[in-house]
Structure 1
């Protein structure tokens, strides 16, 4: 399936490792377009915290019922990564991303018309199909255009920065609309839904994958990110990947760390109002400003992992996040609470560049979309805790401390699990 675009290629073609593509097939341009698309789907995940309490109040609904919306989004988007990854491995992204942009915007437009929690679940869950495909496609964009191990983490992190940090542009704007009367959340859903639909559909017309067989100049498939020659540089099929123990350790680590961070993402605004001495303004500040290090550290963490390795990077980031979450349970000072949120979410963000890069390192490039989609389903499992169960535990205990303890322990375990990982077929000792 092609887009009918004539591609000008200078130098050797397929397999020669010296191709230079121009026009829309410039790989740096493609990374920027993917970043823009990722930015526009970020409100689904990173702004829901400002909708949660106003919706519960408007509909006289229990907080866990509304929080279940977030869980549904995470589960649907996470599981949809598997077929989305397969499609993005097989076909060009233009028309699939166009359709995904329509679904993404429609999800929020339908959410604006919802009058009950079950209607919101259906609308938000339907809309989640759009981000599910787009996320898979944009991560695959990086893995296909930048197959070099020493550029993989940097590029995945750059593109994913749009998803992590992009919402910082939208949170103050959406929070102001949500606070504007009982139906403010409907206006916010409507305006943002239209913006997502229009921008994504336009950007999708410029997305391309490299021609089949293309390789960048100087590419050496046998070299890993640390410059070591790999004994096994084959491309694993999904079935072959599932027969390696590294797949399950990676899935478990991603489940633990995403559950920890999504718990904070979903409820940080509400947490501030139930922590002694803090108010709603602290929650909005924490939600807004934490998105910046969350996104930027995806880029920097990915680039750093190109130098020291994915596994050590995971251990350092995830364990530090766990320690910071523990500190937040004893914090009753607003500015300090915001700073701790910034640090913890900054340590959390790199997971979204480290795990895709790890999948490329361990199991190859050819099936990177579906292979990462399989590992990424761990986010769906983590989301079950982060949304509904976390809110339920708060309702039972009357405090977010138990959730913080669970999240902190999960983050530390995820960091420790990374230390046992090694490439399939790598010698030990």
Structure 2
């Protein structure tokens, strides 16, 4: 099935794994630059007259197209080398930013360039590093998934810093889009050449378990419903925040420099959260779904009540990123655990479609509520309600397994 191996690797299997993991992190880092979108928003509004809703529509469409493109990408992984899928994705993402840079800041050019073309590029590349690393590290699914995708959260830090530095140097906004597109292409395409599947997949990939093979049976199962509800709830709440984070801070009378810093802190929490939640899901499994949603709800509440308080706003942003980061490791690890490594690339993109739905609804609802009320507090309270509701539903669906996880944890600490 997997005929996509390279022959120029050294013989050391350990070196294979290290190179693949590092290249996967680099690819995820570049793709994660999408979370720095809010750093562009003030300039797009001031220089080109875009509304808050238009800016967030571009962001939302990027996420939606990204998740839709993941579905065919996951299916192609059974027939096409992950090198070519990921490399094509990086090239397409870079092209999207380049196309947008020639549109003079118009809403349509940004929507088509960053939203549609860029979203397709992210979707093609995103699933490849995760699927490859799960094959190379079958015994530590949560931790390895967390390490693989932590770059996606960290990408927001790197790109927001780059955008801020170029803005401070007086570089025109459209030129910044151009540089971002070139940089992404030059980093992702070479790193993609390292992505290969092992020649002899481990016989213990699925830990001796049997899994349903019929896709319709999978979609109707409680095992699928719990991560599906959790993914939508967590990403709806998190994307509403990150898509408007700088604007939320400014509306709450937080100083502009702290509002910008909040983007980086969210990204720090997002990146470190993916690693930490990865270790936790290996230990506590299904319990991490409701737990991560409640952490996210608490952090958003803290952001909502920080009226002018920079410290509480920054802490809330950090914890919010930590809770949001769980969405991209807990559910990936759980899909692999519930349905097996063999079916991961086909099933996980279906969960990710709900991330796309929340990508449209979360940021756009946040922008529209602000435009209507001149306050982000009502929108943030909606996000909290969605996260808490998702936690309760996920607990109900997995209640027996969650109770077992709690009992094991208590007995281990006794």
Shared fold per TM-score greater than 0.5: yes
Q: What's the CA shift for 1:263?
A: 1.0
Deviations 1:67-94 (A, max 9, x none): 1100110110011111111112333211
Q: Give the one of 221, 240, 256 matched to 2:206.
A: 221
Separation of aligned partners in 1, 2:279 and 2:217: 28
Q: 1:416 to 1:28 in 2, by over 3 A?
A: farther
Q: TM-score, normalised by structure 1?
A: 0.87
Q: 1:121 to 1:425 in 2, by over 3 A?
A: same
1:192-341 matches, within 5 Å, as 192-211=180-199, 213-215=200-202, 219=204, 221-222=206-207, 233-234=210-211, 236-276=213-253, 278-309=254-285, 311-332=286-307, 333-341=309-317
Worse-superposed segment, 233-242 or 397-406: 233-242
Q: What's the CA shift for 1:175?
A: 1.8
1:91 equivalent to 2:66? Answer no
Worse-superposed segment, 164-173 or 371-380: 164-173
SS in 2 for 1:372: helix
> What's 1:6 paired with?
7
1:74 equivalent to 2:49? Answer no
Separation of aligned partners in 2, 1:123 and 1:221: 40
Do 1:7 and 1:23's aligned partners in 2 also have CA atoms closer than 8 Å?
no
> What's 2:90 paired with?
101
Do 1:104 and 1:130's aligned partners in 2 also have CA atoms closer than 8 Å?
yes
> What's 1:135 paired with?
126
Residue-pair matches, total: 399
Q: 1:334 to 1:307 in 2, by over 3 A?
A: same
Separation of aligned partners in 1, 2:206 and 2:84: 30
Deviations 1:100-139 (A, max 9, x none): 1111111111111123101110111111111111111122
SS in 2 for 1:26: helix
1:363-382 matches, within 5 Å, as 363-382=339-358
RMSD: 2.5
Do 1:25 and 1:210's aligned partners in 2 also have CA atoms closer than 8 Å?
no
Q: What's the CA shift for 1:282?
A: 1.5
Q: What's the CA shift for 1:383?
A: 0.9
Do 1:177 and 1:187's aligned partners in 2 also have CA atoms closer than 8 Å?
no
Deviations 1:287-323 (A, max 9, x none): 01221121011011111111122x2122222102202
Unmatched segments (≥5 aa) in structure 2: 405-414
Q: 1:425 to 1:249 in 2, by over 3 A?
A: closer
Q: 1:23 to 1:156 in 2, by over 3 A?
A: same
Q: 1:192 to 1:71 in 2, by over 3 A?
A: same
Do 1:318 and 1:414's aligned partners in 2 also have CA atoms closer than 8 Å?
yes
Q: 1:152 to 1:59 in 2, by over 3 A?
A: same
SS in 2 for 1:47: helix
Do 1:81 and 1:370's aligned partners in 2 also have CA atoms closer than 8 Å?
no
SS in 2 for 1:90: coil
